Structure 1
Amino acid sequence: MNGPEIHVEFDPELALFVPNTRRRGATRLAIDGVSTLGHVIESVGVPLTEVGALVVDGHEVPTAHIPKDGESVHVRAVERPQRVPGAPLRFLLDVHLGTLARRLRLLGVDTAYESTDIGDPALAARSAAERRVMLSRDRGLLRRRELWAGAFVYSTRPETQLRDVLDRFRPELRPWTRCTACNGLLKEATKEEVADQLEGGTQRTYDVFAQCTECGRAYWKGAHHEQLVAIVEDALSMRTQDG
């Protein structure tokens, strides 16, 4: 490189996004004297949703900082737990994260989910309009400026995805209060109120039901209840360990 450049070191947690040739120690990046530090970092492949503090020559700077020739930059990973401005904490998941969406809803976390691919612009617009944290494995989506907030989902395994989201955001958990199908709130229901959704064996075996106030779906402690209990207990144990 013959032009101006900066020396950049990324936290190990960000190695996934950095090309192999730049993962060890500090790397040199060209600058043009006009682009922001945030733009320079994103040009390497690191979404700003995953970036915490930016430290230039020992001083923290904003993403809008215009880097100067010779500066040393330390790019830190986002701190955990991550504090998101505004309340309550709500999520939006793209089409590839259906299982994670259902598990977050099982825990009572307000989770919107798009079951079809509506495109990045529409997802980013919904995130902004509803003030929801966009969860995705699509780095391009997470780079969209319209997003209200976002986070990269690092794993492809639903159980690991869930634990990572819970560790990163520490949302309030209220298990068994939301519909896993539509995110609506549940209410207690009598057998008569949900009778049209029950087969004969279920009618004879179960007496305690809940029903979604939005879509009307009925819930009871069926064959998969133990698996769901295990997911809930694991999440609650994480919260206990966090103190």
Structure 2
Amino acid sequence: MTAAPEIHIAFAPELALFVPRGRRSGATPATTDGVSTLGHVVESLGVPLTEVGALVVDGREVPVSHLPAAGESVEVRAVERPQRVPGAPLRFLLDVHLGTLARRLRLLGVDTAYESTDIGDPALAARSAAEQRVMLSRDRGLLRRRELWAGAFVYSTSSEEQLRDVLDRFRPELRPWTRCTACNGLLREATKEEVSGQLEGGTQRSYDVFAQCRECGRAYWKGAHHEQLEAIVERALSMRTHES
């Protein structure tokens, strides 16, 4: 019986979250079956390919379809930042667990679709492919689905850190105050008369500048929470200034 090929594989420190503790420093041996691609081997060790940048075998970069041979040394690098997504204009799709992140991305004018109910991994992956959206999720199984157009793991459970990470990784164009945080539709200027049906008496008397979503009709004005929202926008724009 022929022995299964053994390779030595080293993961970038940024990928330590995904790999067993014993593989977090330096190259460690891994047994392959002789028929699986390197991409499959990497995923079988816990790392979604959405988080993998270059795969380097004995000093040369190879595709995920590379078939590992016995004795090869493999370096698994993290995705380079900023990450460039080919094809369609950059836009996102978020799963049911990332509602706050979705609203904050929309606040910044980033095209962000969001599923407020759990429609299941197959449907999310299909929508990502159909609409060419980057799937953002903390579900590693979802990010391993082959039909995804593109995807990225959301590393933090803090909504503020999540936003910072997505902005750092993808550097989307920011156009604050242009999208509806409820449905992702584009906003337009509106008169008080046009949105009067959504205003209570105090708002009617206190505010004169309004916007309205072209899709769902929701009205917006600089209300009680505006300072908090303004702070989120200012932090995002400041981060962009420091990057350039």
TM-score bin, normalised by smaller chain:
over 0.9
Partner of 2:137: 136
One-letter code aligned to 1:60? E
Partner of 1:75: 76
Partner of 1:170: 171
Pairs within 5 Å for 1:24-39: 24-39=25-40
Instruction: Return the offset for 1:173.
Output: 0.3
Partner of 1:18: 19
Distance 2:57 2:22 in 1: 22
One-letter code aligned to 2:167? L
Gaps of at least 5 residues in structure 2 are: none
Partner of 1:60: 61
Matched, 1:44 2:45: yes
Partner of 1:151: 152
Instruction: Return the offset for 1:3.
Output: 3.1
Distance 2:117 2:218 in 1: 21
Partner of 1:93: 94
Distance 1:156 1:201 in 2: 37
Pairs within 5 Å for 1:3-14: 3-14=4-15
Distance 2:163 2:8 in 1: 35
Distance 1:189 1:4 in 2: 67
Instruction: Return the offset for 1:27.
Output: 1.4
TM (normalized to structure 2)? Answer: 0.98
What SS does the corresponding residue of 2:235 show, helix, strand or coil? helix
- Is the contact between residue 4 and residue 34 of structure 2 (CA under 8 Å) also seen in structure 1? no
What SS does the corresponding residue of 2:194 show, helix, strand or coil? coil
Distance 1:27 1:203 in 2: 67
Instruction: Return the offset for 1:20.
Output: 1.1
One-letter code aligned to 1:209? F
What SS does the corresponding residue of 2:97 show, helix, strand or coil? coil
Partner of 1:225: 226
Pairs within 5 Å for 1:183-222: 183-222=184-223
Gaps of at least 5 residues in structure 1 are: none
Aligned residues: 242
Partner of 1:105: 106
TM (normalized to structure 1)? Answer: 0.99
Distance 1:11 1:21 in 2: 14
Matched, 1:126 2:127: yes
One-letter code aligned to 1:73? V
Partner of 1:161: 162
What SS does the corresponding residue of 2:192 show, helix, strand or coil? coil
CA RMSD of aligned residues (A): 0.6
TM superposition outliers: structure 1 runs of 4+ over 3 Å: none
> Kindly, what percent of the aligned residue pairs are identical?
86
Alignment deviations for residues 188-232 of structure 1 (CA, whole Å, 9 cap, x no partner) = 000000000000000000000000000000000000000000000
What SS does the corresponding residue of 1:192 show, helix, strand or coil? helix
Partner of 2:237: 236
Alignment deviations for residues 108-141 of structure 1 (CA, whole Å, 9 cap, x no partner) = 0000000000000000000000000000000000
Alignment deviations for residues 47-101 of structure 1 (CA, whole Å, 9 cap, x no partner) = 0000000000000000000000000000000000000001310000000000000
